[in-house]
């Protein structure tokens, strides 16, 4: 009798051992913001050392990541960024944000209801003390002023270039085709990143901008260390950061869907939505 039982159990165990840990089609979003603190993030504010969070600019209150200036007298071009500690290459980054309150005194006019998601960025550690923006691709977030058209999830290029069609785009910014979101409403903005090939911007489910071949180049960034800016270098991967540009903004969600991982259907952690394989990530 024991022999018969074992002969039935063994194939079942082998069958279950070969099954994926989860549904291969079930998207496994990583919450970069945990709703409690910024322990997995680094702060870099112009004029201050790494993780010197001047004025408590970046903080968590009411389960929201907030960028605020209530401890500032004047903005004084103290542009800041909060960096997630891990770099990524193929992924979808999504944020849910809203602009609130009044702009910090001394903030530039163009920074009214202005922030951004920086992708393919240099690390916070590699930035100069007086550097204003990281060398990166910016998905610019704009809020409406109540009157004028003002699209969001635009493209800006601090120390970088991209291709639009077959042409190198050397201007600093270009608007997306998104709607304008006035007042203090929540907006979901996403960026789909395929290494150094294709990047797409999405707002509330609609694709509003796309471009290719991100690379280091151009200006519109100052105070950087020379070794961090080698023009022509393809941007294959990099860090993610969120901006402080003088107008208060809140984030209730910052999440990422990694598109790089195990693409072997025989592995336990296989996902059918991955677009870039990583054999070393496979678990059997």
Check residue 16 and give its pLDDT: 47
CB 96 within 8 A of CB 222: no
CA distance 63 to 164: 38
Q: What is the pLDDT of residues 185-196, one digit of tens each?
A: 999 999 999 999
Query: Across residues 209-223, what is the average pLDDT?
Result: 96
Check residue 8 and give its pLDDT: 47
What share of residues in the chain are helix, strand, coil (percent, to 5)? 10, 40, 50
Query: Across residues 134-163, what is the average pLDDT?
Result: 97
CA distances in angstroms from 142 to 3, 145, 156, 182, 277, listed in the order given? 70, 9, 12, 9, 35
Query: Across residues 87-91, what is the average pLDDT?
Result: 98
Check residue 5 and give its pLDDT: 45
Q: What is the pLDDT of residues 272-282, one digit of tens each?
A: 999 999 999 99
Query: Across residues 221-242, what is the average pLDDT?
Result: 97
Residue 106, sorted as left (phi over 0), alpha (psi -120 to 50) or beta, turns out to be: left
Check residue 142 and give its pLDDT: 98
Q: Residue 19: pLDDT band by 50, 70, 90 thresholds?
A: low
Q: What is the pLDDT of residues 33-69, one digit of tens each?
A: 999 999 999 999 999 999 999 999 999 999 999 999 9
Q: Residue 21: pLDDT band by 50, 70, 90 thresholds?
A: low
How high is the mean pLDDT of the chain?
A: 94
Q: Is the pLDDT of residue 80 over 80?
A: yes
Query: Across residues 102-115, what is the average pLDDT?
Result: 97
Rounded to the nearest 10°, the torsion over CA 149, 247, 106, 171 is -50
Q: Is the pLDDT of residue 268 over 50?
A: yes
Q: Residue 117: pLDDT band by 50, 70, 90 thresholds?
A: very high
Structural domains of the chain in order of their starting residue, each with its CATH number: 30-279 (2.60.120.560)
Q: Is the pLDDT of residue 87 over 90?
A: yes
Q: Is the pLDDT of residue 11 over 70?
A: no
């Amino acid at each position: 009798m024991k022999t018969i039982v074992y002969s039935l159990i063994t194939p079942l165990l082998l069958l279950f051992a070969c099954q994926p840990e989860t549904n291969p089609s079930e998207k496994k979003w990583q919450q970069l913001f945990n709703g409690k603190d910024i322990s997995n993030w680094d702060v870099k504010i112009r004029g201050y050392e790494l993780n010197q969070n001047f004025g408590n600019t970046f903080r968590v209150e009411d389960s929201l990541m907030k960028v605020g200036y209530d401890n500032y007298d004047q903005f004084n071009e103290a542009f800041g960024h909060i960096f997630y500690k891990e770099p990524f290459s193929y992924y979808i980054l999504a944020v849910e944000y809203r602009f609130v309150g009044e702009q910090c005194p001394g903030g530039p006019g163009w920074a009214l209801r202005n922030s951004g998601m920086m992708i393919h960025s240099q690390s916070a550690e590699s930035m100069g003390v007086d550097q204003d923006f990281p060398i990166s691709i910016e998905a610019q977030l704009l809020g409406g002023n109540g009157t004028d058209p003002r699209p969001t999830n635009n493209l800006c290029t601090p120390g970088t270039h991209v291709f639009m069609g077959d042409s190198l785009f050397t201007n600093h910014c270009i608007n997306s085709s998104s709607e304008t979101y006035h007042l203090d409403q929540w907006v979901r903005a996403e960026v789909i990143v395929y290494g150094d090939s294709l990047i797409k911007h999405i707002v509330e489910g609609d694709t509003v901008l796309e471009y290719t071949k991100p690379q280091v180049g151009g200006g519109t960034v100052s105070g950087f260390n020379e070794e961090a800016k080698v023009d022509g270098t393809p941007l294959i991967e990099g860090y993610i950061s969120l901006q402080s540009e003088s107008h208060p903004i809140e984030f209730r969600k910052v999440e990422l869907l990694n598109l790089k991982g195990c693409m072997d259907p025989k592995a336990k952690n296989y996902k059918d939505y991955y677009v870039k394989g990583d054999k070393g990530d496979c678990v059997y």
